[in-house]
Amino acid sequence: MKIIATDRKGAVHEVEGRDGWSVMEILRDAGLPIAAECGGACACATCHVYVTGDWFAKLPARSDAEVDMLDMALAVEPNSRLSCQITCAPELDGITVTVAPE
Amino acid sequence: MTLETDVAIIGAGPIGLFAVFELGLLDLKAHLVDILDRPGGQCTELYPEKPIYDIPGLPIVTGQELTERLMEQVKPFKPIFHFSQMAAALSKEPDGRWKITTDAGTEIVAPVVVVAAGGGSFVPKRPPIAGIEAYEGKSVHYAVRKMDAFRGKNILIAGGGDSALDWTINLAPVAAKLTLVHHRDGFRAAQHSVNQMRELASHGKINFEIASVKALHGDDGRLRAVTLANPGKGEWEHACDTLIPFFGLTIKLGPIAEFGLNLTENLIAVDTAKFQSTTPGIFAIGDINTYPGKLKLILSGFHEAALMAQEAFHICRPNEKLRFQYTTSSSNLQKKLGVA
């Protein structure tokens, strides 16, 4: 599966996802500016992305923990997600995300 | 205030704490500086309640518990903590020792400095609003130090965590007007605080807006109004003279970048025998260092602390012979630990 990620400068990156990995791990390892300070524990909100296009509606709903943690994110929008809470899967092939401002 | 010790440690997270233990076994005294107001670093700031499963011998332990256990472990060595202070500068003394100066003016002089700062300093998250820097310190504040400074102000508090709620409740009586703005009608905060805030709002003592701050308006750092927005209502202007954003803390490398150390992508390059940087006498252990094969694990930091302490001894006690002993068998070590 592929993830189409837009960084904070507007550059678009196509990165190869891995089933079962979190989108945060894929973006971080691809060198995108994802701090992920807590390492994927849904405890810091520094892997905040906007899921764009139709993709937001296709994702499983946010957990209560993620909704709560988004309160510590900056510039939250209706399509905000913490990328450590999105798991790569074949049906997400082509998902488009934009890295949120820091 | 100038203090002298054997080792000055930057960072009181798990690795800085365990360094105190390893240094203590070798009779080396330590002072620790941390920007947070308590020990534990990321363990207590980011995930105090989350379980950690990869600490050898502790199948499950929370960040808070691990910190408490380390504090108990280092207690015999009487480390001196300087909390709520940021290590702001590193300089060399005429006698060859190092001096750390904190932002509170504390000076610690020691032959050895250990940087155990994780990812750097925890600092308040700054909302990505254009031009906000110009207002910081004048109209935009990330903390409330003196409530009196906010008396009679038209305050806007942004955020939905405990700090946002607590300060909404505490500042309501002193503010001329107070508005809480949060992106949703739900909060990551203690229920009684949420109830109290809603009570204040229902009596008109504060206003609560479901929105986000999009822009700031004012001159010379003096705030006049902000633009608020929400997807249903669009954008509108909200008059206020003070903005206090509370979005928690984030980690920035901070002044360590200016210490003149050999940095690789914000990490301090060290050797893997002593965990010393390329600057003699300056060591780096834990998440802040880098070397071939580095893994950012707490257990790696513990190992690094033990090896660092050996070399720190040679620097601090050049004329003494290091006696390698085991805590299990050495009555000398057991005496230091207060168990013999």
What are the tens digits of pLDDT across the range B245-256? Answer: 999 999 999 999
A20 touches chain B (CB under 8 A): no
The pLDDT value recorded for residue A13 is: 97
Q: Are B327 and B334 in contact (CB under 8 A)?
A: yes
The pLDDT value recorded for residue B286 is: 98
Using CA coordinates, name the residue in chain A closest to B120: A37
B120 touches chain A (CB under 8 A): no
The pLDDT value recorded for residue B33 is: 98
The pLDDT value recorded for residue B330 is: 94
Contacts A44 to B, Cβ<8 Å: 46, 248, 250
The pLDDT value recorded for residue B130 is: 93
Q: What is the domain count for chain A?
A: 1
The pLDDT value recorded for residue B186 is: 95
- pTM, entire model: 0.89
Q: For B305-336, give the DSSP string.
A: HHHHHHHHHHHH-TTS------TTT-HHHHHH
A89 touches chain B (CB under 8 A): no
pLDDT higher than threshold 90 for residue B104: yes
How buried is A99 (Cβ within 10 angstroms: 0-12 exposed, 13-18 middle, 19+ buried)?
buried
Nearest C-alpha of chain B: how many angstroms from A62? 14
A-contacting residues of B 181-240, CB under 8 Å? 182-184, 186-188, 212, 231
Contacts B187 to A, Cβ<8 Å: 71
Range B99-104 average pLDDT = 97
pLDDT in tens, B24-59: 999 999 999 999 999 999 999 998 999 999 999 999
* Cross-chain residue pair A37–B251, CB shorter than 8 Å: yes
pLDDT higher than threshold 90 for residue B1: no
Termini Cα distance of chain B: 36
pLDDT higher than threshold 90 for residue A29: yes
The pLDDT value recorded for residue B183 is: 94
Give residue B240's region: left, alpha or beta (phi > 0; psi -120 to 50): beta
pLDDT higher than threshold 90 for residue B96: yes
Contacts B46 to A, Cβ<8 Å: 37-38, 41, 43-44
Range A15-37 average pLDDT = 96
Mean pLDDT of chain A: 96
Range B100-123 average pLDDT = 97
Q: Are B96 and B68 in contact (CB under 8 A)?
A: no
Nearest-by-Cβ selection for A71 from B160, B231, B250: B160
**Residue among A42, A63, A74, A84 with most chain B CBs within 10 A, to mutate:** A74
Give all domains of chain B, ordered by start, each with its CATH number.
2-123+250-336 (3.50.50.60), 126-247 (3.50.50.60)
Using CA coordinates, name the residue in chain B closest to A70: B188
Range B52-76 average pLDDT = 97
Nearest C-alpha of chain A: how many angstroms from B45? 9
A27 touches chain B (CB under 8 A): no
B63 touches chain A (CB under 8 A): no
The pLDDT value recorded for residue B136 is: 97
Contacts B161 to A, Cβ<8 Å: 71-72
pLDDT higher than threshold 90 for residue B313: yes
**Residue among B125, B157, B191, B253 with most chain A CBs within 10 A, to mutate:** B125
Using CA coordinates, name the residue in chain B closest to A8: B128
The pLDDT value recorded for residue A21 is: 97
The pLDDT value recorded for residue B340 is: 82
The pLDDT value recorded for residue B328 is: 93
Range B123-147 average pLDDT = 95
pLDDT higher than threshold 90 for residue B242: yes
**Residue among B188, B210, B233 with most chain A CBs within 10 A, to mutate:** B188
A69 touches chain B (CB under 8 A): yes
Residue A51, strand partner residues: A97
pLDDT higher than threshold 90 for residue A102: no
* Cross-chain residue pair A101–B128, CB shorter than 8 Å: yes
The pLDDT value recorded for residue B108 is: 98
Using CA coordinates, name the residue in chain B closest to A47: B250
Closest CA to B175 of B187, B157, B161, B163: B157
Q: Backbone phi, then psi, for B306, in 5-degree steps? A: -65, -45
Mean pLDDT of chain B: 96
* Cross-chain residue pair A44–B186, CB shorter than 8 Å: no
Residue A48 one-letter amino acid: H
pLDDT higher than threshold 90 for residue A26: yes
Which residue range is the domain that position A80 belongs to? 2-99
CA dihedral A19, A25, A31, A37 (to 10 degrees): 170
Looking up residue A11, the CATH number of its domain turns out to be 3.10.20.30
Q: How far is CA B63 from its chain centroid?
A: 14
pLDDT higher than threshold 90 for residue B158: yes
pLDDT in tens, A66-83: 999 999 999 999 999 999
* Cross-chain residue pair B183–A43, CB shorter than 8 Å: no
Using CA coordinates, name the residue in chain A closest to B246: A72
pLDDT in tens, A40-63: 999 999 999 999 999 999 999 999
* Cross-chain residue pair A102–B50, CB shorter than 8 Å: no
**Pairing state between β B112-115 and B107-110:** unpaired
Using CA coordinates, name the residue in chain A closest to B47: A43
B98 touches chain A (CB under 8 A): no
Range B266-289 average pLDDT = 97
